[in-house]
Structure 1
Amino acid sequence: EEKVDVLTKEGLSQEDINQYILTDIHLNVRSFFNQKNGQSSNLMKFVEDDVIQLTKELKHLAEKELNCKFDRRFIHFLSMHMESFLKRKKQVDVLNTKEIDEIRETYPKEYAVALLFKNRIEKLFNIVVPEIEVIYLTMVIQSIRTLEENKRVGIVVAAHGNSTATSMVEVAKELLGSTPIIAIDVPLTVSPVEIVDRLVQGIKKVDEGEGVLMLVDMGSLAMLESKLEQKTGTKIKTISNVTTSMVLDTVRKVNYLDLNLYAIFDSVQKDFMEFIDKQQHVFGKKKALVSICTTGSGTAKQLEKILTIISRKVSQEPIKILTVSSIKLAANIREIQKEYEIVATAGTKNPKIDAPHVSLEVLIEGQGERILQQAITKETIRYDEEPTEGNIVVRELCEENLRKYLLFINPYLISEILLEWLNHVQDELEMELSNTVMIRIVMHTAFALERMIKNEPLAFPEDEEITPQLENICQKTEKTLQAVEKKLKLTLTRDEKLFIATIFADEM
């Protein structure tokens, strides 16, 4: 309610304020639930005993009605919420009638439970619980239930030796508790076929539907990622040079942070950059990829992230990613060559050295990734093979740009969902899109979904002819978008879908 006052004084519209508050309630619950389970003894310091006893009763009631189980955090959070309600002297209607109706319709089971809560609270404390508080309770129950049902990223630790992986996993479990993690020990006598079989079984055991992060000791295991994805149907990311510290960090992130597979993968890699750099060979020059742009920042920094991901996909040996300005490039390159072996460069200007160069255009269009892989591994990559990691460039550029502009939608999550959707659309339309077009479609569709949250859909021009071809493409687009809409609980208007279909039509 205090936030409503502040936002109103800032001149925000009622609709924008409502969206902020709805988001804030969910984030508040998420923040609380990401804490550890303890502190039950401290609850008495903040909440009256009769409130705690009632909340325990309401917990059992909610579990029975919703056919699910809540842990102790349900009691902690709801007790504090109820204590706050009982002490408030006023009640501000943050939501309007239309939005209250929408919440009732969207979460009917949670609303029905909130009404049961209302009756018990009124009977015990002899007070009137207003409808807006029932709506608050509905959103609180829905947020808690959503977090209780959250599926976690699975972890597979694989290392050569009879018990190397097992030892690391046992330490992690003892220090940080249970998590979807499994150790795969790889004795030197085990055949490659058996290694793959063991990894497949391990991945299936820990996969909760959110993908699996593999932590391995050698690049040879990392190179199995594509094959394992095909055999398991699971999204997999791999990090080499596993250590006990890395396993602990990963388990902590999976248990206590609300991150998807790609965000955890990026976070663990960044945390261990310094450690990996220290593992460089003592003798000889260290290897490097060089990212180049006019200023040495901006575009080059974005390139740096892409080059890091590509290099770690194909090399068990850590490769330094260096960013330089194209101004005085020759002098900068000479300085780098004193300490590093430059295996390839990428960016706005070709330094013309004895190493492959990939321009921004080639990298964005998709061929640059193969060139860089070949330069790093010194092996010829056949063009009839699947790339080791599809859409690295597309994913990174989409996430980078969406992070700047999206307010309500998670840029990492929407990039993952829309790239998966694009694969289905291309199959449905029997077409293959360039990286540039894929980026354009992901960006446009993400903005369209954001517009639906803000209730600001675009209108398709009335004077624009809807040809039979466009109508056919729109129907197929609409069909493939159903899965996206279901995941996000959003529905795009026909006009927004026509705009998306137009992009596909332009490429046919």
Structure 2
Amino acid sequence: MVLNHPQEFQTAKVMLRLLEEELGIQVPKQEIGYFTMFLCAMDEEAIYPKIAVIVMAHGESTASSMAEVANKLLKTGHCHAIDMPLDVPAEEVLEKAVVLAKETDEGRGVLVLADMGSLLMFPEMIEKRTGIPVKTVPMVSTIMVIEAVRKAMLRGADIDRLAKEMRQIGKVFDQKHGEQSIHTILVTCFTGQGTALKLSEIIRDMIPAEQQSRFKIRCMDFEGMDAVKEAEGQEDLSGADAVVGTVDLKLPNVPFISVDEFVVGDGMARLSEMIQGQAETVCETKDEAVMDEKLLTGTLEQLLYFLNPKKMAGQAMECLKESVRALHMEVTRELAVRYVIHLCCMLERLIQEEVLPHQETEILKEKYKHIFETVKRSLRPLEDCLHMKIPDSETAYLVEMLLEEKESC
């Protein structure tokens, strides 16, 4: 003990000498060994439970770098990190976060320091799936990580108080850049659908980087209608600016935008107007094509059970492009969404041998022979891929859709 813990041993000797002088007693020398053991125990990290700290950030090694700096400066391994490369799906990172929270929790809760976007929504999902108290602090920086880890390792540290203190540090930083109002958007779905997380990513992507800090996007998934009714009475939800998703919380004076409205194309514009009063300041229209792909794929994932949503969305879009090109039309955003979703769901039905009849199939074939043949020709790659024959009655619905678009132009 003397060789391995000389500092603690010397301190124990000083303590005993002070006690002897103050109390006028003689303390047996062997007591020095017990005092030294107590002092060594105070330095052992595992001797008492601490708040776990996880840093999450976008990039190949952003979070790891901050955690490494904190651990080296504080001479500990208490800080853990999860990096989120830009090409990795959010669901995959969420699964890692759930596992890490379970591994690192010591009974005092988990503090998550995140930078932006979907990572700020993870803590609520982690808490729901694990039952572990999880608090989040946004706009993470290296100095925040160091301070959070230092305080998290203190004996008796409280996670609510620690999260509040760390957020206060962030507020001081924000005040230097002027006061800004924070807009809250609630994104809802039923548990198991995964719609909320997808929608939240789309909404976050459409907000310019310089305005990200002004928006708080909160994901909420419910296990049933009872959970929805319970949420409707929560006071902290009434201050939201809008609710987007598959579950209408029916909050007073808070507008609701369904997934259908969002997919059709005017949902995001409505949301922007509600919050800012002018959609142009929030939406970046130059990324519409990217957004459409995300919207289509995300929606199809909720509708298709047998077909690959991403693959089908791409092939269906190619069919549409071939048809409109031959008919000298343009692919509008609304037409793309309607056409692709209808076509993919139609293929899903045909796999299950469910064919929709169309009473005017023969009339359409005769009256609009060129359009009908064009659509049939565009569908052949899909027929070859899925080894099926698409009935004329189903093709008729697609022809009608193109006719409606042609007449509206």
Q: Which has the larger radius of gyration?
A: 2
Give the TM interval when normalised to the shorter protein: 0.3 to 0.5
Q: Could you state the TM-score of these two structures normalised by the residue count of structure 2? A: 0.44
TM-score by length of 1: 0.37
